[in-house]
Structure 1
Amino acid sequence: MKKSRRESWANHAVGGGRKDEPAPCPKIVRGEDRLTPEQEEYTHRFAQERIAAILSTTAIDTSVAEKYLRRAYHVVGLERPRIRWFASPMALAMATTGISVWDTRTWDAILLGLEDSVEESVRLGVSSSLWDHIKINVWQRIESIGANIGDGISNGIGEIEVNLRLNLWRQVRFWQAYEHESWLAFYRFFSDVFEPNALIHLAMLNEMVSGYCLGRDEAWLVHKPTRLEYDAQGRLHSATNTCIEYADGWGFYARHGVRVSDDTL
């Protein structure tokens, strides 16, 4: 029987470059309703590794990031996009000036199409209790930290640039990598230790950038910051310096998630 497009998207990993890597723990098998001790231990280690990766400011190999982006397009039947890199979210925001329409069909195909199909495939293979348990150990452990950082960056664009920010969010759909790490990591976990799925490419890209805008013909990627400081709750914070700063010099000060001016430090 011919596979539906939904089934193809769910299972088409397109040689994610990870096939030869040994499994980090015993594989989850279909119908399994609880984790083994080794699998349980790995969920905690995996969550910590994903948090460390998304918060890292280490320079990345842009060619590798672009490879994952092209594969994410490929699995939904799209041609390779032109890729444009930006030094900071503000640089990308400035580039949106004058854009009145951004084709959202690519975004919807990659985000909504893949997520729905992969979720359906995984849910058919594991019990609800195991799904919920992994969601608590992976998704929810990452979620608050990523959301705090992502919200801080969005708010950091500031009231002075309110028109840019409105244009950015309403017209272009800038995807904050920090905010979406939790659910992408969740599906990456299943791709690693259950069955490969097509969200792996987007999940790998997500940890290498600050964010992105995905159009049919062109994809915009934002480099990660060169400085990122935060408190124990994952809120942007520095008592002595900018809490976040990008290579083009854009950044700002914040204490425990609240933006402040430099003369208050």
Structure 2
Amino acid sequence: MQREAAEIREEWLGRALSTLPADRTAAEAAISGLYRLIGLDPPRFHWVPSPVAALTTVPPGMPSWPAEHIGRAPGWTLPPRFSASMRQLCLDLDARIHPSVSGLIRQEVRDPLSRSSGSSLLMALRAAHDVEYHATNTWYQTQCVSWVAHYDAVRRAAGAVFTSEQLRRLDLWAAVARSCGWWWPRQTVCVISERPVTVRTEVWGDNGEVRLHSADGPAIRYPDGWDVHAWHGTRVPSWVFTDPSVLRIDREVNVEVRRCAIERIGWGSYIGQAGLRLVASAPDPGNPGSELRLYDLRRETRVLLAINGSVERDGVRRQYGLTVPASFDDPVAAAGWTYGLSADQYSLLVRRT
């Protein structure tokens, strides 16, 4: 069962990250079915090329509102009803599943897919809103394939038996997840986004979790050209790839963006281009054969240049920098500080990670 569950997880991950054009006929039919489930007639459909277009363009005959207020806007009353319908379906399905089976499938399928979605497609939505979107977060979680995949795996891998009515409701949600991108329902019109045309990810978790990452361009791009850049799961501005100069890096106020830009050009290159002064160097007792190098970085801050104690997925040991207080003159003491250890305690490590 575990192997089959993993295969179903990968199947749904592929659907979630699909770059194929939306199947508009299937999407509209399934969403119409979901409208009927909550007692409404099917809406008319307004297709857009990207999430940002969905939040910035107005369907004919509809009032406009800023993207950051979409969760509180007039007419934004249907998502809670759809989410409530989804939660009731989950309760009905859970009543027919043994808890031990549900726990295993959650571990193998639902949780990894939820993390992958949060580190990929939901990142693009956050970029589209360009603000925190707490009011609409529940609706986007409702659209996440993780819960659909969970019950699909319970049915196919564990042999759970659902009623025909339960399967009909589940199949409607599954059909939407398979056929289009994000959607925003209103009383008489439903806005649906096309899928991206490019999605670049890397594997970073134990159960095949992925996150957005591209070293040479946008990590996700939509048909209208709207895109998002990401470096190992962190959203960054495009200059990190087009102009990662020392000057741009030093002016950047966001610590994570600055770190990603430095990693993009390499810590060694950054230190050389910035002309950082070497304070001291020493063999790394936690990583035999490697060296710790301590540099002045900026006022009251130094950077410790080290090499990973473990090999990355691509077989390479990464060089990385850690900022430490300027009071450190000893690279070994600085390395110990990053682990909450003294220099003597760090020196006794067999190998750090």
Hey, what does 2:325 align to over in structure 1?
A: none
What are the equivalent positions in structure 2 for 1:10-159 lying under 5 Å apart? 39-95=1-57, 97-98=64-65, 101-116=73-88, 118-157=89-128
**Cα 1:178/1:51, change in 2 over 3 Å:** farther
CA RMSD, Structure 1 to Structure 2 (Å):
2.7
1:80 partner letter: P
2:32 partner letter: R
1:248: Cα distance to partner? 0.6
| 2:168 is the counterpart of 1:204 | no
Whether the 8 Å contact between 2:201 and 2:213 is mirrored in structure 1 is yes
* Higher normalized strand content (fraction of residues): 2
1:107 partner letter: P
Larger Rg: 2
Whether the 8 Å contact between 1:172 and 1:213 is mirrored in structure 2 is no
CA distance in 1, matches of 2:141, 2:20: 15
Where relative contact order (Cα < 8 A, 6+ residues apart) is larger, the structure is 1
Which moves more between the two structures, 69-78 or 96-105? 96-105
The number of residue pairs the alignment matches comes to 219
Hey, what does 2:234 align to over in structure 1?
A: 258
CA distance in 1, matches of 2:120, 2:82: 24
Deviating 4+ runs (over 6 angstroms): 170-174
Question: Structure 2 length normalisation: TM-score?
Answer: 0.56
1:200: Cα distance to partner? 2.2
1:190: Cα distance to partner? 4.6
| 2:181 is the counterpart of 1:217 | no
1:53: Cα distance to partner? 0.9
| 2:180 is the counterpart of 1:180 | no
Which secondary structure does the structure 2 equivalent of 1:231 belong to? Answer: strand
Which moves more between the two structures, 126-135 or 140-149? 126-135
Query: Which of 213, 233, 244 is equivalent to 1:237?
Result: 213
2:146 partner letter: S
**Cα 1:77/1:179, change in 2 over 3 Å:** closer
CA distance in 2, matches of 1:172, 1:44: 30
1:64: Cα distance to partner? 1.2
CA distance in 2, matches of 1:42, 1:181: 17
1:223: Cα distance to partner? 0.7
Which moves more between the two structures, 99-108 or 140-149? 99-108
CA distance in 2, matches of 1:178, 1:254: 24
CA distance in 2, matches of 1:255, 1:179: 25
CA distance in 1, matches of 2:203, 2:24: 30
Which secondary structure does the structure 2 equivalent of 1:247 belong to? Answer: coil
